[in-house]
């Protein structure tokens, strides 16, 4: 394997040396080096290639090395616009109609290199103008979003590689080191903090790595002891696919709550919570091996027996700071029945919602100890537990049932044969219905959430419950709340095994505030005001629960003291690991371990608050 790695690196080095070769003509879609011009300071600092001709040849050489899979990005919505990057172009009516019809469809967005689930990350939000290519999310056919608007890439990487092998990543890292061109890593585009986009970067698009396999006796490489019942997945596997695959081999896997989340990428790198996490832990807790290309270009295997420090960092250390994941292996559980509670009502009085949330606060400690995990959003609850019988589940949820019934609500408490059965009936089907109502769809809208964990004392103690309920009641007048009971409350973790903040082990809720919708025509001032309002709401919960931590994958974009919030006492160790495997800071991402700060060119499109 080492020989293959060396051959790859030697090949790209040799090709890059052909600065003015005729190779450039073999890449017809590479007609300029705008990717370089937007990263001037990075390029100026590079030790090697600096001239446009040299950089152009280097990009062409990279394209040849990866088999012609360096491609130039096109804005997701470009077919609808008569002006693209300042040039008049014909409108592709048929393609535009298809995009407008599927603007909120996660599979459509996930299949396009330049589309993100939160579309504001497609734009350069720091620009005084609307530097992007957005449609009106509430009405994609609205001509005001199109007419006279210059459709631009904004914050979307101008070039990307459709990664098919770890050797593609090695070649890209060498290209970056030689030219100074920065890299970004994208899977499905679910990153709520914009870390998978980046103006002026070369994007590594991991979506096509979709291998799946199962072993009931998986032994991590280099280990002579433990064996695991485990599933191995490529970095680009969809959550829905891994659920279905696990079910097909009579297993249960801990995975995300949306079918298009990339299971083996940013999800577990940031921790990865689930309805099943209260009993079976976070996704990061269940990883037994990771194969990753580290910034030094080496394809490494990390597990409990080799590269143990890297293994620790990859399980909850967040983002692409430590390398680019190619595949990961996760412990699974046997197939088991699941109890599901789906309860909702329509508030009729101004006090109904506050009373409902107080009821949630009063009961969530008990529910956590019974293995319930799930979501509470407005006047609705959807929870599951693998620990109770159907009779016990009904008795457990009786307070919520009584409240909803008294408010003309609807109640379903049922036993389903597997978690996949629940996911199919109550997650996929709901998401499908929401796509028919763009105002309800969580994707294709430029929404942002900020989330904070709520320690157990605010549920087990009467004074704590009173304080939390009072703050929730105060918040409801100006913001919507989204609560996730997905912390590893009952899971018996080996202390210090993962990089996730220890605060998560003593939390009952992961609390989110979702008050902001970014519009296609927002001004710079309006964008900044939305982020400030969001941070202001979540700050009240930080003040109530100091040191409670936050979830890396969905925290406040401008999370204060993010090192402590995301990793707690683990941060110094993570920073040591970062400096060991990436001493030159080749990989960087917003508020990741060892990041170079918001003044770095990589973050030129973030609003400066």
- 452 Cβ neighbours under 8 A, 6+ residues apart: 510, 511, 538, 541, 542, 545, 548, 549, 550, 555
pLDDT attached to residue 3: 41
Q: What percent of the chain has pLDDT over 70?
A: 88
pLDDT attached to residue 55: 79
pLDDT attached to residue 16: 39
Query: In terms of pLDDT, which residue wins out, 434 or 315?
Result: 315
Residues 571-592, mean pLDDT to the nearest whole number: 96
Residues 430-450, mean pLDDT to the nearest whole number: 51
Query: In terms of pLDDT, which residue wins out, 403 or 537?
Result: 403
- pLDDT digits 0-9 by tens, 123-179: 999 999 989 999 999 999 999 999 999 999 999 999 999 999 999 999 999 999 999
Orientation of helix 352-369 relative to helix 462-475, angle to 10°:
140
Q: How far is CA 261 from CA 110, 187, 235, 265, 318, in A?
A: 9, 8, 11, 9, 15
Cα atoms in the 13 Å half-sphere on the side-chain side of 187: 27
Residue 7, pLDDT above cutoff 50: no
Query: In terms of pLDDT, which residue wins out, 80 or 436?
Result: 80
Kind plus residue range of the DSSP H or E element containing 374:
strand 373-377
pLDDT-derived band at 515, boundaries 50, 70, 90: low
Regarding the domain delimited by 338-561, which CATH topology (the fold level of the hierarchy) does it fall under?
A: Vanillyl-alcohol Oxidase; Chain A, domain 3 (3.40.462)
Domain boundaries, the chain: 1-208, 212-335+570-603, 338-561
- pLDDT digits 0-9 by tens, 337-367: 999 999 999 999 999 999 999 999 999 999 9
- pLDDT digits 0-9 by tens, 538-570: 999 999 998 889 999 988 999 999 999 999 999
Q: Does domain 212-335+570-603 have CATH number 3.20.20.210?
A: no
pLDDT-wise least confident of 237-246, 414-423, 449-458: 449-458
Q: What percent of the chain has pLDDT over 90?
A: 79
How far is residue 578's CA from residue 564's CA, in Å, rounded to a whole number?
16
Q: How far is CA 274 from CA 374, 408, 538, in A?
A: 8, 30, 22
pLDDT attached to residue 431: 64
pLDDT attached to residue 513: 83
pLDDT attached to residue 453: 79
Residue 586, pLDDT above cutoff 70: yes
- pLDDT digits 0-9 by tens, 246-295: 999 999 999 999 999 999 989 999 999 999 999 999 999 999 999 999 99
pLDDT-derived band at 378, boundaries 50, 70, 90: very high
**pTM of the full predicted structure?**
0.90
Mean per-residue pLDDT over the chain, rounded: 88
Q: Dihedral sign for Cα 117, 120, 124, 130, please.
A: positive
pLDDT attached to residue 547: 85
How buried is residue 116: exposed, middle or buried, by Cβ count under 10 Å (0-12/13-18/19+)? buried
Residue 477, pLDDT above cutoff 50: yes
Other residues' Cβ atoms within 10 Å of the Cβ of residue 311: 25
pLDDT attached to residue 450: 63
């Amino acid at each position: 394997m080492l020989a293959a790695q060396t051959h790859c690196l030697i090949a790209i080095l040799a090709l890059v040396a052909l600065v003015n070769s005729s190779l450039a003509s073999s890449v017809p879609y590479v007609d300029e080096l705008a990717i370089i011009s937007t990263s001037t300071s990075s390029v100026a600092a590079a030790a090697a290639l600096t001239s446009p001709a040299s950089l152009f040849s280097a990009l062409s050489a990279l394209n040849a090395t990866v088999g012609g899979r360096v491609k130039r990005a096109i804005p997701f919505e470009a077919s609808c616009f008569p002006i693209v990057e300042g040039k008049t172009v014909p409108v592709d009516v048929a393609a535009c109609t298809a995009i407008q019809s599927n603007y909120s469809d996660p599979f459509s967005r996930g299949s396009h290199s330049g589309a993100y689930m939160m579309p504001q990350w497609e734009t350069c939000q720091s620009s005084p103008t609307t530097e992007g290519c957005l449609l009106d999310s509430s009405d994609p056919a609205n001509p005001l979003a199109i007419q006279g608007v210059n459709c631009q890439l904004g914050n979307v990487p101008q070039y990307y590689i459709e990664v098919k092998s770890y050797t593609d990543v090695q070649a890209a890292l060498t290209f970056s080191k030689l030219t100074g061109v920065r890299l970004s890593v994208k899977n499905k585009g679910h990153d709520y903090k914009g870390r998978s986009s980046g103006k002026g970067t070369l994007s590594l698009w991991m979506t096509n790595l979709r291998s799946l396999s199962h072993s009931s006796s998986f032994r991590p490489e280099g280990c002579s002891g433990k064996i695991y019942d485990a599933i191995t997945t490529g970095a680009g596997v969809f959550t829905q696919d891994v659920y279905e695959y696990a079910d097909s081999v009579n297993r249960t896997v801990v995975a995300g709550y949306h079918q298009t989340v990339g299971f083996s990428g940013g999800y577990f790198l940031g921790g990865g919570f689930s309805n099943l996490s209260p009993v079976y832990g976070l996704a990061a807790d269940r990883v037994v091996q990771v194969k990753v290309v580290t910034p030094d270009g080496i394809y490494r295997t990390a597990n409990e027996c080799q590269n143990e420090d890297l293994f620790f960092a990859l399980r909850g250390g967040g983002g692409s700071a430590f390398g680019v994941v190619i595949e990961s292996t996760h412990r699974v559980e046997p197939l088991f029945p699941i109890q599901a509670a789906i309860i909702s009502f329509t508030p009729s009085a101004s006090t109904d919602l506050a009373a409902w949330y107080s009821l949630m606060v009063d009961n969530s400690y008990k529910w956590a100890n019974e293995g319930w995990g799930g979501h509470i959003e407005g006047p609705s609850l959807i929870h599951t537990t693998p620990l109770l019988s159907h009779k016990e589940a009904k008795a457990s949820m009786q307070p919520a049932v009584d409240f909803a019934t008294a408010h003309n609500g609807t109640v379903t408490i049922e036993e389903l044969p597997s978690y996949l059965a629940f996911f199919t009936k109550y997650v996929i089907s709901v998401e499908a219905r929401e796509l028919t109502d763009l105002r309800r769809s969580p994707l294709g809208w430029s929404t942002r959430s900020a989330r904070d964990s709520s320690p157990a004392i605010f549920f087990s103690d009467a004074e704590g419950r009173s304080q939390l309920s009072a703050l929730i009641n105060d918040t409801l007048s100006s913001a919507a709340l989204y609560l996730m009971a997905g912390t590893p409350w009952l899971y018996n973790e080996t202390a210090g095994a993962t990089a996730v903040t220890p605060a998560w082990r003593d939390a009952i809720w992961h609390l989110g505030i979702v008050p902001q919708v970014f519009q296609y025509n927002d001004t710079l001032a309006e964008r900044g005001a939305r982020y400030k309002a969001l941070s202001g709401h979540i700050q009240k919960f930080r003040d109530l629960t100091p040191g409670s931590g936050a979830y890396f994958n969905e925290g406040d974009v401008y999370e204060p003291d993010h090192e402590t919030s995301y990793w707690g006492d683990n941060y110094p160790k993570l920073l040591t690991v970062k400096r060991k495997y990436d001493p030159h800071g080749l990989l960087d991402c917003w508020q990741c371990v060892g990041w170079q700060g918001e003044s770095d060119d990589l973050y030129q499109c973030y609003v400066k608050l």
